[in-house]
Amino acid sequence: MKGLMRALGVLLLAVAGWQVLVWLTAVPHFILPAPERVARSLWANRALLAENAVATYGQILLGLALGTVLGCGTAVQLALSPLARVALRPVLVFAQAIPVFALAPILTLWLGYGPASKVVMVVLVTYFPVASALHDGLMRMPQGYDDLARVMGAGRMRRLWQLQLPLALPALGSGVRLAAVAAPFGAVIGEWVGSSRGLGYLMLLANGRAQTDLMFAALVVLAGFTVALHLAVDRLALALTRRIG
């Protein structure tokens, strides 16, 4: 509760600073709208924002789920197979060297303007943090635990499920937290490149019509969902770690 109150206090200070900046600079509202204008736009366009938010949220959640499953599968495979570590890890690192926004036009060309290209974008930005974090956690099992398991005759799979995975859960939680923050970025980039709905599409539309207050309203809705998603993932990761640990 104290953490929530501190976060709300920081948020209120940020909004107050935003309002003071608008007052002091007298900046035109089409460049930087005041918080009051953004709040009015949020209410006036609530149906439009909700409709587009549902599309974006669905793409984010589906892409995050798929990216997490694929990342976990890859991490387990890398931990079990030295050959996979030699062959696949350099490919994964190289793939992350390509800016994800550079792939968005290609994915739109291949998969069209529908949700599929956006979901794949989210998978791309969430897959590597999960795979990398879980793989590091799996490979950091204390040597004493591994030696004891081998002495007791535990096979590779048994060591994985009973020792490595439980010990790697905090690392997995960190990876999924990072993925949850990055997931909205992937969805919005995909919508900017080509889409007919979603918060990213609505932001581009509002920008083209000089409706800066609506653009900020869409950004607020997206930021709020990102914070809520991060908190939900954080709570889930902590609960899972405590239960299994």
What pLDDT score was predicted for residue 198?
A: 95
- Is the pLDDT at 133 greater than 70? The verdict is yes
The structure tokens listed for 237 are 């990761």
Domain boundaries of the chain, sorted by first residue: 42-244
Can you tell me the distance from the alpha carbon of 176 to that of 201, in angstroms, rounded to the nearest whole number? 26
Tokens coding 50 = 């909700």
Q: Is the pLDDT of residue 82 over 80?
A: yes
DSSP string, 190-224: HHHHS-SSSHHHHHHHHHHTT-HHHHHHHHHHHHH
The domain over range 42-244 is classified in CATH as 1.10.3720.10: yes
> Which residue in the block uniquely carries the two structure tokens 């909700």?
50
For residues 55-63, give the mean pLDDT: 97
Mean pLDDT of 5-11: 77
| Cβ atoms 177, 241 nearer than 8 A | no
Three-state SS at 28: coil
Best CA proximity match to 125, nearest among 100, 94, 97, 90 = 100
Is the separation of the CB atoms in 179 and 72 below 8 Å?
Answer: no
What integer pLDDT is reported at residue 86 of this predicted model? Answer: 81
CB 193 within 8 A of CB 104: yes
| pLDDT at residue 167, as a whole number | 86
pTM equals: 0.90
- How open is the CA angle 78-119-240, to the nearest 5 degrees? 55
Give the pLDDT band of residue 139 (cuts 50, 70, 90): confident
Given a cut of 90, whether residue 12 has pLDDT beyond it is: no
Closest CA to 49 of 185, 242, 225: 225
